Structure 1
Amino acid sequence: MKKIGLIPIRKGSVGIPNKNKKKIVGRPLFTWVLKEAIFSDLDEVYVFTDDSDVISFIEKEYHWTAKVKALLRSDENASDTASTEAAMVEFSEKINYDFDLLCLLQATSPFTLYSDIDACIQKIVADNYDAALTVVNTHRFTWGKEGTAYNYNVFNRPRRQDFEGLLIENGAVYCTTAKAFKDSSNRISGTIATVEMAEESLTEIDSKSDWLIVEKLLAQRLKRNRTPKKITHLVLDVDGVFTSGAITYTAEGEHTKEFDMRDGMGLEILREDNINVMVMTSENSPLVAARMKKLKIENVYLGVKDKYALIAHIIKENALELAEFAYMGDDVNDLANLCSVGWALVPNNATERVKPYADVLINADSGNGAIREACEWIIRYNERFE
């Protein structure tokens, strides 16, 4: 059975400009569900969009997996008035309905996990439903405008523990068989199963206040799932960690970056303790490549925008655990990793935006011995496991 994931994205957004690309916990909103789709049981995942910037991002960023593809969506089916079903039909026709199961994943649902996607798939594959969707069980009482209670008796108000609640669509995941979709042209039809997700996933992102709420909940979920262990891997950003963040330019482009020699000695000490050092930066800098070669750091990843997904890939491929990782960053694009690794470290001069998420606030500034201090802290921390 060929299982295809579809993430439709529009360039325009009325409530929040560029919502799908806007960074939440340091990552573009749409990448949260995309990362989970990559690690799900789906065979292929398509980002279907009218935004050429998103297509370029997909083609450049996810070279480490053959699972992700980007496909151009027509302007007609990316307008404010176009339905999601119309986009699904256009997509299906573009790939000649080459699937047995189609899974619609909403880019605006960052709480979706690969386990939620897999649960919907299993309802169709193993339990023989025609379709499945994700819901939330809410214990709130619902009313109509005419003053009628829909789901309880006002003269016999149930206690929360005695109330079964009400299932509400959270708009995250919809799966359907190819046959059911061809017959109905609808995201769900035929015999339909429900899969419950956490109540926090019911929060919709329609306003700036919604955004702040979801971002806080998302960061809390990442932090809640952490279980620190002995540190075996240290991942480092470059600008604002190895360097002060200052760069000099000439007419030909980037000219110099300044590195602290003490940091190099600290990393050498870590390697002697069998701690694997990785470097990830969004910049594709020859200067950084040369410096890391000098430091004999083998795992250097340049030009990486979605570090969170890449780390997840490395962990899966090498049978590692996120709890064994320490991460050092200084700005918002490091937030997802700072919230999820075993230990989060930031230099003293990191942005105020990320400092609240740090487990360890290094006394030294970046480019001025911060990495060396972090290395010494890791060595001392690991002693408790000996």
Structure 2
Amino acid sequence: MTATPLSATERASRVKLMVFDVDGVLTDGALHFTAEGDFMKSFNSMDGHGLKLLREAGVETAIITGRRSEIVARRAEELRISHLYQGADEKATVLAELLRATRVSADACGYMGDDWPDLASMLQCGFAAAPANAHPEVIARAHWVSKARGGYGAVRELCETILHAQHRYDALLAAACGVRSA
């Protein structure tokens, strides 16, 4: 008898650690350079709140990115993201180290990426996600694809998908509305 493949919702229900790329996922992927060589990125505040909700629900979060940026370090600190890895040339190797360090199985890990450098990491995880504007090869290998583009709500959409799958969304919403559960 052949096992039925897991649905995206079943995969999301198992996530204990959610890992994100930065450029094209947490941002729109644009890099704005000044004449002095400094660069800027913009982050979506609703995506940030989604990451906070995941943390409140007990899902650890991590960032693995190929670039190094003080901007990303500051955003990760502000969001209290548990694990930050910058300058990761081999993201899959870093992910394997992260899984060992957190003692989370690959099946209980999710990864959201948008381009080829994310593919090996996505394929390592039990739940692979991509923003709507990800590269077609990434979309083809993702278990779940957002309706929103990277930097424009894709991360929030993903966070809410995980919260719904884990039956935690309603309690968090009720708490935000000031309703105490019995």
Q: Which amino acid aligns with 1:322?
A: A
Deviation at 1:362, TM superposition (A): 0.4
Give ranges in structure 1 of 5+ residues lacking alignment: 1-222
Q: Which residue of 2 aligns with 1:142?
A: none
Q: Which moved more, 1:301-310 or 1:235-244?
A: 301-310
CA RMSD of aligned residues (A): 1.8
Kindly indicate whether the alpha-carbon contact (under 8 Å) linking 1:247 and 1:254 is maintained by their aligned counterparts in 2.
no
Q: Which residue of 1 aligns with 2:106?
A: 322
Q: Which residue of 2 aligns with 1:253?
A: 37
- Picking from 144, 147, 155, the partner of 1:371 is 155
- TM-score norm. by structure 1 comes to 0.40
Kindly indicate whether the alpha-carbon contact (under 8 Å) linking 1:325 and 1:343 is maintained by their aligned counterparts in 2.
yes
Q: Which residue of 2 aligns with 1:300?
A: 84
Within a 5 Å distance, the mapping from 1:26-175 to structure 2 comes to none
Kindly indicate whether the alpha-carbon contact (under 8 Å) linking 1:328 and 1:346 is maintained by their aligned counterparts in 2.
yes
Q: Which residue of 1 aligns with 2:28?
A: 244
- Tell me the distance in 2 between the aligned counterparts of 1:376 and 1:366: 15
Q: Which residue of 1 aligns with 2:66?
A: 282
Write 1 or 2 for the structure with the bigger share of strand: 1
Q: Which amino acid aligns with 2:17?
A: H
Within a 5 Å distance, the mapping from 1:199-214 to structure 2 comes to none
Change (3 A) 1:313 1:290: same
- Tell me the distance in 1 between the aligned counterparts of 2:28 and 2:141: 20
Once the two structures are superposed, residues 234-292 of structure 1 have per-residue CA deviations (whole angstroms, 9 ceiling, x without a partner) of: 00000000111001101222321111000011011101111000011000011111111
Q: Quote the sequence identity (%).
A: 36
- Tell me the distance in 2 between the aligned counterparts of 1:290 and 1:260: 14
| SS of structure 2 residue aligned to 1:339 | helix
| SS of structure 1 residue aligned to 2:134 | coil
Deviation at 1:365, TM superposition (A): 0.5
- Tell me the distance in 1 between the aligned counterparts of 2:104 and 2:142: 22
Deviation at 1:232, TM superposition (A): 0.3
Moved over 4 A (4+): none
- Tell me the distance in 1 between the aligned counterparts of 2:76 and 2:124: 25
- Tell me the distance in 2 between the aligned counterparts of 1:276 and 1:252: 36
Kindly indicate whether the alpha-carbon contact (under 8 Å) linking 2:33 and 2:40 is maintained by their aligned counterparts in 1.
yes
Kindly indicate whether the alpha-carbon contact (under 8 Å) linking 2:16 and 2:104 is maintained by their aligned counterparts in 1.
no
Residue 96 (structure 2) pairs with residue 312 (structure 1): yes
Q: Which amino acid aligns with 2:108?
A: E
- Tell me the distance in 1 between the aligned counterparts of 2:112 and 2:44: 16
Kindly indicate whether the alpha-carbon contact (under 8 Å) linking 2:17 and 2:104 is maintained by their aligned counterparts in 1.
no
- Picking from 336, 339, 347, the partner of 2:131 is 347
Q: Which residue of 2 aligns with 1:271?
A: 55
Deviation at 1:374, TM superposition (A): 0.3
| SS of structure 1 residue aligned to 2:38 | strand
Once the two structures are superposed, residues 183-203 of structure 1 have per-residue CA deviations (whole angstroms, 9 ceiling, x without a partner) of: xxxxxxxxxxxxxxxxxxxxx
- Tell me the distance in 2 between the aligned counterparts of 1:275 and 1:254: 33
Q: Which residue of 1 aligns with 2:166?
A: 382
- Rg comparison, structure with higher value: 1
Once the two structures are superposed, residues 331-374 of structure 1 have per-residue CA deviations (whole angstroms, 9 ceiling, x without a partner) of: 00000111120111100011112110010010000110110000
Deviation at 1:378, TM superposition (A): 0.6
Once the two structures are superposed, residues 107-134 of structure 1 have per-residue CA deviations (whole angstroms, 9 ceiling, x without a partner) of: xxxxxxxxxxxxxxxxxxxxxxxxxxxx
